[in-house]
Amino acid sequence: LPAGLAQWFPALEELDVSGTGLAELGAELLALPRLRTLLAKNNRLGGPGSLPKGLAQAPLGRSLRVLNLSGNRFAEVPPALLGLRGLQSLSLGGNRLHGIPPDIQELRSLEFLYLGGNFITSIPPELANLPSLSYLVLCDNKIQSIPPQLAQLHSLRSLSLHNNLLTYLPREILNLVHLEELSLRGNPLVVRFVRDLTYNPPSLQELAGRTIKTRNVPYAPSDLPENLVRYLSLASNCPNPKCGGVYFDSCVRQIKFVDFCGKYRLPLMHYLCSPECSSPCSSASQSSTSQSESDSEDEASVAARRMQKVLLG
Amino acid sequence: FRYTRNLVDSGNGKFNLMILCWGEGHGSSIHDHTDSHCFMKILQGNLKETLFEWPEKKGNGEMVKKSERVLRENQCAYINDSIGLHRVENISHTESAVSLHLYSPPFDSCNTFDQRTGHKHKVKMTFYSKFGERTLC
């Protein structure tokens, strides 16, 4: 970049240096107080010092709203840009990222985040702390699972997950009420109903604890050793709303299918207190398959109708 | 946030001419063409076209890919239901793409197909804009 850039063009608002072969963006940029959009696609950026030091503190750091660094060689999200609290749009598509730093949550104004075409294997739950995020692109990566916290992205309108390594989605995904678009093609999503993926039978301690909780057996701290009192306080409610059961350490990951687009079935991960858990928690010698299938369609049908409009083929 | 369909000319009811704008990573579902001719020309960028066989009547397996190709700027493609089904995608993560489409006779609904199962679902197609004016629906 030419020296004295900021003196020559102090009013510059948009700068496009894409496809110029730049290996670094120099300190010449820092004094541009009005620069809102910086496009630097398809260059040779990615090594240390690709972005100027003190970026976030400079006048440029406060004015910048749109930053496009797609088609470069970044192996990690450059820490220098995590301080850009005014940044609304960030693209790092087509780079060499293997992960997303939890400090991504520092980009408080971010609305648009494009990370497609990298080598990302997992998503940090901190990504869900971006209060304004509306458009999230994670396609063409190596992602195996989505953290359920992502359902906290209340502003999310568009989520692109196609061409990853997802076999299921967390059921919390149905909580994204503002979601208008969701792409899932090209993932090895489990097609057939799969029961009992992993189930470690509960310990005697767990079984006793469950009985005390579900039968409301009264106890006082003086009745039990302190560690067991603490243990009993950790009981989690079975997420099946029709089951009154609780569990401590032992739960079943079960893929339940929610009907989208008519016959299209989307695998969602449910945690249940036991493979027999359906409704209402009891002796249940009933045929669990048909019962739990219709339960899952019941509770999910409202959300499913909403998702039906959302799912992009 | 997904590709937009922008109607340019409705040709006395005999055809629809439209411009499609594809952002980075945007792609269509697998779809048919409701017994119409479909011509496509790339005006900007590149689009990948993947052709699929029609699924078996009782289809309950992964759909069969026939071929795929990347169409470059100014290249044209043609498809109709007897040729098969296709998915069109902008696979670039850095460039957007623009294509010109001619459908004759015009149609406003088609079937989309789930690649994993071959199941189809009829959808109504909408326009982001018509003759330069944004449509709201």
CATH 3.80.10.10 fits A5-195, yes or no: yes
Percent of chain A residues topping a pLDDT of 90: 49
- Cα B37 vs. chain centroid, distance in angstroms? 12
Question: How confident is the model over A50-74, as pLDDT tens digits?
Answer: 999 999 999 999 999 999 999 999 9
Q: Is B3 on the interface with A (CB under 8 A)?
A: no
| Cβ contact A181–B119 (<8 Å) | no
- What domains does chain B contain, in order, with CATH numbers? 4-129 (2.60.120.10)
| Closest CB from A41, A135, A189 relative to B116 | A189
A residues 231..260 contacting B (CB < 8 A)? none
| Closest CB from B2, B92, B93 relative to A312 | B2
Q: Is pLDDT at A292 greater than 50 in this prediction? A: no
Q: Shortest Cα distance from B122 to chain A (angstroms)?
A: 9
Residue ranges in chain B modelled with pLDDT below 50: none
B26 annotated among ligand-binding-site residues: no
Phi, psi of A206 (to 5 degrees): -65, -45
HEC string for chain B: CCCEEEEEECHHHCCEEEEEEECCCCECCEECCCCCEEEEEEEECCEEEEEECCCCCCCCCCCCEEEEEEECCCCEEEECCCCCEEEEECCCCCCCEEEEEEEECCCCEEEEECCCCCCEEEEECCCCEECCEECCC
Q: Is A189 on the interface with B (CB under 8 A)?
A: yes
Q: Is B25 on the interface with A (CB under 8 A)?
A: yes
Residues of B in contact with A189 (CB under 8 A): 116
| Cβ contact A114–B1 (<8 Å) | no
Over range A246-259, report the average pLDDT: 62
Q: Is B68 on the interface with A (CB under 8 A)?
A: no
B93 annotated among ligand-binding-site residues: no
Q: Can you give the residue ranges of every domain in chain A?
A: 5-195, 198-251
Residues of B in contact with A309 (CB under 8 A): none
Q: Is pLDDT at A106 greater than 70 in this prediction? A: yes
B86 annotated among ligand-binding-site residues: yes
Q: Nearest residue on chain B to A163, judged by CA atoms?
A: B25
| Cβ contact A70–B93 (<8 Å) | yes
Over range A189-209, report the average pLDDT: 68
Q: Is pLDDT at A177 greater than 50 in this prediction? A: yes
Over range A104-128, report the average pLDDT: 97
| Closest CB from A137, A262, A313 relative to B30 | A313
Task: Taking each helix axis as running N to C, give the angle between helix A204-214 and helix A226-233, from 0 to 180 degrees, rounded to the nearest 10.
Answer: 60
| Closest CB from A41, A71, A160 relative to B25 | A160
Question: How confident is the model over B24-55, as pLDDT tens digits?
Answer: 999 998 999 999 999 999 999 999 999 999 99
Per-residue model confidence (pLDDT) at position A195: 45
Per-residue model confidence (pLDDT) at position A309: 57
| Closest CB from A93, A158, A181 relative to B24 | A93
